[in-house]
Amino acid sequence: MMARTHCWTSAASWLAGCAFLPTIGHPPSISVALAGAAVTAGASLIPDIDFPRSTISWSGGPATQRLAQRIGGASARLQVLTCEHCARRGLNDGHRGITHTLVFAAVVALLLASGVALVGGWVAGPVIWATVGLAVRGVLPWQLRGRFGASVFAAVATVAVVVASDGVWWWVPAAVGWGVLAHSLGDSLSVAGVPLLWPLRLRGCRWYRTGLRRWHVGTSRQSQGAAARRWGRGHPRDERSAGSEREQSSRILRLSDGAPSGSPRHRSSSRRSLPTVEQGRRSAREARP
């Protein structure tokens, strides 16, 4: 999804939420609705900080470029370290990793909520400035905003919002958390999908990407076959890895003279006990007169 689409859809969903609040007896103020929509729009670009060519990665020049490269690298290493299936596939570019999960959105919202609870406007103000600046970068083309247009507009808007908010800040973590979540939900509508449910292990992978077409099960036999192929592609139990696993287990079976095999734990324990069995036999032979 393009930055502009993320901004508009998340801002629209914030406004829809605000329109719903009066029905449960909590009508939001106009400033919460409008400023919240702008903050949500900007925050909806945050998850792509794992990708050096994204709007947020360009937003602060070389500094944010380097940050995006670091985060992408760390995200790729995290996938390899925490999932044996991903370890078999090796490092990827890290894009659409940890920053595209429900857990990430929740952690961002909770950290911000505690920051706002502790020091109020000193956290809320800079967050409003940064996210509104991002929203302007996401929505307006370069020709219209110029080099400093987004930062200057965001600074003026932040002063106006801080005055209008009158010390009420609950909506800032809500808007940022929702923006981050809306981004991942939006990306999960793509074919590639995102690991939304991390760290749940789905089909053998903790970083299993839930995408719109992956959940689609066709009705005809042909489309079921196509769906099965899609499931198989990029998934742990694709034919090649299953084949190599079978080969490995049969080799271990031969080496260990019929030691129990089956579950991965059994296999690895028989592999580990292999030298001891061999050593035991050798020492028994040597002990023989």
Q: Which is nearer to Zn ion, 18 or 182 (CB)?
A: 182
Instruction: Report how many residues bind Zn ion under the rule CB under 5 A.
Output: 8
Residues 22-51: x/- map of binding to Zn ion (CB under 5 A)? -------------------------xx---
Structure tokens at 151: 């930062």
Structure tokens at 139: 């929505």
Half-sphere exposure of 31 (CA within 13 A, CB side): 16
User: Which residues in the 103-122 window bind Zn ion by CB under 5 A?
Assistant: none
Q: Could you give the CA distance from residue 16 to residue 10 in angstroms, rounded to a whole number? A: 10
Q: Which is nearer to Zn ion, 55 or 158 (CB)?
A: 55
How many distinct helices (H) and strands (E) make up the chain?
Answer: 14, 0
Q: Could you give the CA distance from residue 260 to residue 242 in angstroms, rounded to a whole number? A: 19
Residues near 142 by beta carbon (within 8 Å), at least 6 away in sequence: none
Q: Which is nearer to Zn ion, 67 or 164 (CB)?
A: 67
Using CB under 5 A, which of the segments 75-83, 136-144, 169-177, 215-223 binds Zn ion?
75-83
Residues 172-211: x/- map of binding to Zn ion (CB under 5 A)? ---------------x-----------------x-x----
- Least separation, in Å, of the C-beta of 200 and Zn ion? 11
Residues listed for the chain: 289
Residues near 28 by beta carbon (within 8 Å), at least 6 away in sequence: 18, 21, 36, 171
Q: Per rule CB under 5 A, is residue 83 in the interface with Zn ion?
A: yes
- Least separation, in Å, of the C-beta of 183 and Zn ion? 6
Q: Per rule CB under 5 A, is residue 154 in the interface with Zn ion?
A: no
Binding site residues, Zn ion, CB under 5 A: 47-48, 83, 85-86, 187, 205, 207
